[in-house]
Amino acid sequence: MYGYDVDPADIVLHTDSPNLDILPGHIDLVGAEIEMINLPNREKMMRMALSNIKEDYDFIIIDCSPSLGLVTVNVFDSMQIQ
């Protein structure tokens, strides 16, 4: 995501708790909003990044900072409300 060729499936951490995996953040996400500002479809980056793992999970919970910046907008865009 955000110009990096990282497949989320490659960095998912499996825990000892059944049915709980973690996709860790990275310090490089601090500058993600600045890097995304001029990208086309910038509000859909999270959706695209999670697209190849979403079928593996019933729920994906995303913790983001309490702001309405591009990272949070990406989280809102990647939600599927049923």
Our count of domains for the chain comes to 1
pLDDT given at position 20: 95
Print the domain residue range for 38: 8-78
Whether residue 12 is contained in a domain is answered as yes
pLDDT given at position 18: 92
Averaged over 32-48, what is the pLDDT?
A: 85
| C-alpha dist (Å) from residue 29 to 4, 49, 71, 81 | 11, 14, 9, 25
Q: Is 14 helix (H, G, I), strand (E, B) or coil?
A: strand
Whether residue 3 is contained in a domain is answered as no
pLDDT given at position 1: 45
Whether residue 2 is contained in a domain is answered as no
Whether residue 21 is contained in a domain is answered as yes
Whether residue 49 is contained in a domain is answered as yes
pLDDT given at position 2: 46
Task: Give per-residue pLDDT as tens, 50-59.
Answer: 888 999 999 8
